[in-house]
Chain A
Amino acid sequence: MIGSILGGFLSGAIHSGTPLLYATLGEVIGERAGIVNLGLEGVMLMGAVAGFTTTVLTGSATLGVLAGGLAGGLFNLLFGFFVITRRANQLASGLALMFCGVGLSAILGAPYIGSRMEGLKEVRIPFLSDLPVIGRVLFQHDLLVYLAVPAAIAIGWLLFNTRWGLGLRAVGENPTAAFAAGKNPYRIQYQAIFIAGVLGGIAGVHLSLSLAKTWAEWMTAGRGFVAVALVIFSKWHPVRAISGALLFGGAIALQLQMQALGVPVSPFLLDMLPYLLSLGVLVVWGGAGRRAAPGSLGRVFQGTE
């Protein structure tokens, strides 16, 4: 009994934490290039709706994932145009992007509300998935869950062990110096924004194709903002984002598990858990971790002419 509850909780934590991890990884890349994107919420919604409708229309969840990632990336380029080319305020532009994503995804998804599809299939790892408890927790998930941690490690490697990552981080720390060193800050920021969008889109796809297996307006319910808080928790490091995503996935899973068990606490109070946890994380890590933030985060690169 205890084992089954614990297994369900841990498995749920990993499952719910996966979209948060993808979204956080995207935001880490963007912020490392000096760009805060509060529009992540909208990007996730665009990914979720593109992935869902594609899957319903084609019957292929793989195509759905690709479409969701692409939609997220392209949609984020809109944000890039304003903050990079037009040099607009990042926070306000991000909120505009969020609104745009909420409205656009609502229009695109409206004809498909209530549509059914199989979604991402669970891939059971032979033999390992039969292990007691551990099998259920670790080896009975969909492909996106299995790929999440390798993605975090790969992005960590990209950012800290390649020339491209060095250039990207240089732009985030000091775009003028990076420019002087022969980098093109605009191009690098556009690349970062596109990749961040792809990851945000995949986060949305995982919500609609695996967690909810349906489409609903504003189904992200603030997860995009939670991911922005998670970036601070992870001190702008992709690998550290894994533990953060697990923690928040745990909060969501705990809330679901307590509701399922009929614990007499108002569901509305339980729903607050992830947001309160995010606030707590901001307070505890935000002040102390500020030194880890990229130097030019949120500032507008004014060009060097």
Chain B
Amino acid sequence: MIERTSGVFRLRNRRLPGMVRWFGLVGLAFLIFAIVLIIIGKNPIRAYINIFSSTLGSAYGLSEIVVKMIPLILTAIAVALPSRIWLINVGGEGQLHIGALFATGGALHFSYLPAWILMPLIFVLGFLGGGLWAMISGILRARGWASETISTLLMNYVAILLVNFFVFGPWKDPESANYPQTAEFVGAAILPALGGTRVHFGLVFAIVSLIIYYLLLSYTRWGLEMRAIGNNSEAAQRNGIPIARYIILLMFIGGGIAGLAGMSEVSAIQGRLRPGISPGYGFTGFLISWMSGGNPLGMVASAFLLAIIISGGDILQMAHGLPGSAVHILMSLILFVVLGRSGGRRSAK
């Protein structure tokens, strides 16, 4: 029997300040970014009002936030799951792209299949693509050949180039002469939207993944063994826990979940594969996982906030004449305050 001594995530924190502190840290990051905006001669209050009113002020704005939250939650889980045993997966962006690539391959080559076969096939392919891509890094790490941090980082670039190769080359739609993109998916390969919005079935993937993630870590033997590895890998090894197998498997599952993000982006949002399917969702997922400490509810809240910030990037670009990547500063500030606060306590490996 597994005795649950202390909850993995402390969903109910009796001291409460968890949530308060989260807001405090985010507020601090926004404050520092406001100072940056003032220094470069922009009005931060107007910028913030613009960002929040256009995202939260209308039903459409809110639905677009949910659309962005889907890949963010999925890529955050892709980081959070391996991080339970101290693996740092920075390859969410690449895993998302390969998931999208595999899913597109399925959608284009098996377009004659009926929807009830084609859709699950694309789902599995998307998962497999991201999973296998991440598993390479897992194997390298398990064998002691290469740090998963650097290998996942480098493989992001390879993955994006691979997508570009297919989109500009073999899979380019001959009918779209000027645009590098694949042919449009057949109807059977399109993930249905929910309601009259762009919010799509990927939301279900995200929620189900999140629930499985929580249950797996809290109530199963695997969750317990992962905690054992995370707390003291040497003791875990001596107790016969197959660490190498966990490393490879967790990278595979994590990558697979990021692959689902890519799959749902091409299948629901784009309807085809083209370059630039992700405005850095994978990297943002990394940030979300860190700022929530892997807590499932924290991930949802953080994904909500980061979805607003990503949309804010477009607003800063259009209405305030700032480069789109200016929001990277705000993202880095959030990560910095979270890291600076944790100083020495949870970072000590």
Main SS of chain B's interface residues? Answer: helix
Contact A225 B153 (CB under 8 A): yes
Closest Cβ of chain B to A163, distance in Å, is: 29
Does B219 sit at the interface, judged by CB under 8 A?
no
Contact A86 B343 (CB under 8 A): yes
Closest Cβ of chain A to B76, distance in Å, is: 14
Does B344 sit at the interface, judged by CB under 8 A?
yes
Give complex CA distance A61, B205 in Å.
53
Does B11 sit at the interface, judged by CB under 8 A?
no
Does B276 sit at the interface, judged by CB under 8 A?
no
> Nearest chain-A residue to B169 (Cβ)?
A266
Contact B325 A88 (CB under 8 A): no
Contact B326 A107 (CB under 8 A): yes
Does B336 sit at the interface, judged by CB under 8 A?
yes
Does B155 sit at the interface, judged by CB under 8 A?
yes
Give complex CA distance A300, B335 in Å.
18
Question: A92-B290, A99-B332, A102-B325 in contact; A87/B344 too (CB < 8 A)?
Answer: yes
Q: In the complex, which residues of chain B have a beta carbon less than 8 angstroms from the beta carbon of A268?
A: 161-162, 164-165, 168-169
Q: Which of B48-56, B122-130, B138-146 contacts A (4 or more CB under 8 A)?
A: B138-146
Give the number of residues in A that approach B within 8 Å (Cβ atoms): 47
Contact A86 B339 (CB under 8 A): yes
Main SS of chain A's interface residues? Answer: helix
Cross-chain pair count, CB within 8 angstroms: 147
**Neighbour of B326 across the interface among A92, A103, A299, CB < 8 A:** A103
Contact B154 A287 (CB under 8 A): no
Contact B328 A102 (CB under 8 A): yes
Q: In the complex, which residues of chain B have a beta carbon less than 8 angstroms from the beta carbon of A89?
A: 339, 342, 347, 349
Q: In the complex, which residues of chain B have a beta carbon less than 8 angstroms from the beta carbon of A302?
A: 344, 348
**Interface size range of chain B in the complex:** 35 or more
Q: In the complex, which residues of chain B have a beta carbon less than 8 angstroms from the beta carbon of A282?
A: 140, 145-147, 150-151, 154
Closest Cβ of chain A to B62, distance in Å, is: 26
Could you mark each residue 309-349 of chain B with 1 if its beta carbon is under 8 Å from any beta carbon of chain A, else 0? 00000000000001111111111110110011011100111
Give complex CA distance A87, B155 in Å.
28
Does A276 sit at the interface, judged by CB under 8 A?
yes
**Neighbour of A88 across the interface among B151, B157, B161, B342, CB < 8 A:** B342
> Nearest chain-A residue to B37 (Cβ)?
A107
Q: In the complex, which residues of chain A have a beta carbon less than 8 angstroms from the beta carbon of B165?
A: 266, 268-269
Closest Cβ of chain B to A177, distance in Å, is: 18
What are 5 A-B pairs with beta-carbon distances under 8 A?
A: A82-B336, A92-B339, A100-B329, A106-B323, A275-B154
A contact residues vs B (CB 8 Å cutoff): 38, 82, 86-89, 91-93, 95-100, 102-104, 106-107, 110, 217-218, 221-222, 225-226, 228-229, 266, 268-269, 271-272, 275-276, 278-279, 282-283, 286-287, 290, 298-300, 302
Additional A-B contact list (9), CB under 8 Å, known A286-B147, A302-B348: A82-B339, A107-B322, A110-B323, A268-B168, A279-B146, A279-B158, A282-B140, A286-B140, A286-B146
